């Protein structure tokens, strides 16, 4: 059972007038006042992916003008796809869910990632005026280096070690506020990562964002005695002193978590795509092409023409086409 922990007070770091902030941007000060840079650290204990994504959105919505939040978290097994991705192209979500995992769609763009309890996730939530992606990526990089791991930052602020990726990132900008978040592979099950991050079916054409495969590495491969808790503490120390908050509860988080768990968000937000293949129905073998909008089949044609097939699945979720037709070979 996950312990229910009480919120602590946010850490306040005073910034002198004219002194660079986390982003290197100077606060505009005209009357000599000290302006507070409010750094808040949250390290929740639960592992519910939908609640974590809900918490990010909730924290962004309630962000104070001079606040910067670091949210460090883990989730049970899940595949998290980008906002504009197609789940059938990105992962074997049916197998994942059958094994007790979850499919999630986040607010930010970018590619699909696999989560388990050997993976640490970081989220920086701050106002756009204070946002500096490189500074935040370097903060995480420095924390990893402080653990004695020879790490580097590459293109798109990806973090690597031994020429292999251990941390990717994505960001979301909404109403002048930013979520910059990423993953750190510490001791993730890479066999499951490679298995689940494979297309559920081919034969799909879409303008949605596709993931870019990369060779990956666990930090524990480079530092076998590394505990995930050590990395948590290293990143926290780089960001701000003081105790973190360890629980976050709010009715809006409950509501948002329900949205992240919903079919409408996880599947209904899939960009329009077409799927081509062939199948057999009532002893007849034929080819077909489906146009799918918001995960619903809106047009279905076949060669030779099969009105029964078109009538049966037009207007139905695309998933029904895949499961109800015997051996649908999406090619």
Task: Provide mean pLDDT across the span 249-267.
Answer: 97
Residue 218 has pLDDT above 80, yes or no: yes
Nearest-5° Cα angle at 172, 168 to 177: 130
Q: Are the C-beta atoms of residues 15 and 222 closer than 8 Å to each other?
A: no
Beta-carbon contacts of residue 154 (< 8 Å; ≥ 6 apart): 160, 165
What is the C-alpha to C-alpha distance for residues 53 and 102, in angstroms, rounded to an integer? 13
Q: What is the fold, at CATH topology level, of the domain defined by 39-266?
A: BirA Bifunctional Protein; domain 2 (3.30.930)
Domain boundaries, the chain: 39-266, 273-330
Task: Provide mean pLDDT across the span 8-27.
Answer: 35
Stated pTM of the model:
0.85
What is the C-alpha to C-alpha distance for residues 64 and 42, in angstroms, rounded to an integer? 15
Q: What is the largest CA-CA distance in the chain?
A: 83
Q: At what angle do helices 49-61 and 251-261 cross, to 10 degrees?
A: 130
What is the C-alpha to C-alpha distance for residues 86 and 208, in angstroms, rounded to an integer? 7
Residue 5 has pLDDT above 60, yes or no: no
Residues across the chain? 331
Distance of CA 271 to the CA centre of its chain: 17
pLDDT in tens, 35-77: 346 999 999 999 999 999 999 999 999 999 999 999 999 999 9
pLDDT in tens, 288-297: 899 999 999 9
């Amino acid at each position: 059972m996950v312990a229910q922990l009480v919120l602590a007070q946010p850490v306040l770091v005073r910034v002198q007038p004219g002194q660079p902030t986390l982003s290197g941007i100077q606060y505009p000060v005209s009357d000599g006042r000290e302006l507070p840079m409010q750094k808040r650290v949250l390290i929740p204990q639960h592992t519910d992916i939908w609640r974590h994504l809900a918490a990010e959105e909730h924290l962004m919505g309630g962000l104070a003008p001079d606040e910067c939040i670091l949210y460090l978290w883990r989730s049970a097994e899940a595949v998290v796809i980008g906002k504009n991705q197609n789940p059938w192209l990105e992962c074997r979500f049916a197998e994942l869910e059958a094994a007790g995992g979850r499919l999630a769609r986040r607010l930010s763009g970018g590619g699909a990632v696999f989560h388990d309890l050997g993976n640490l996730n970081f989220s920086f939530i701050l106002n756009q005026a204070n946002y500096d992606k490189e500074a935040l990526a370097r903060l995480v990089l420095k924390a990893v280096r402080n653990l004695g791991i020879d790490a580097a930052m590459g293109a798109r602020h990806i973090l690597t070690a031994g020429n292999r990726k251990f941390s990717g990132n994505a960001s979301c900008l909404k109403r002048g506020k930013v979520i910059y978040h990423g993953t750190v592979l510490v001791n993730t099950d890479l066999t499951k990562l490679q298995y689940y991050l494979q297309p559920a079916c081919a034969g799909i054409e879409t303008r949605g964002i596709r993931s870019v495969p990369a060779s990956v590495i666990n930090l524990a491969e480079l530092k076998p005695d590394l505990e995930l808790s050590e990395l948590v503490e290293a990143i926290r120390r780089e960001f701000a002193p003081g105790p973190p908050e360890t629980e976050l509860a709010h009715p809006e988080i409950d509501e948002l978590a329900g949205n992240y768990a919903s079919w409408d968000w996880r599947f209904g937000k899939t960009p329009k795509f077409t799927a081509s293949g062939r199948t057999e129905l009532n002893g007849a073998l034929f080819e077909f092409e489906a146009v799918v909008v918001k995960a619903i089949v809106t047009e279905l044609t076949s060669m030779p023409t099969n009105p029964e097939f078109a009538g049966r699945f037009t207007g139905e979720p695309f998933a029904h086409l895949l499961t109800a037709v015997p051996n649908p070979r999406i090619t």
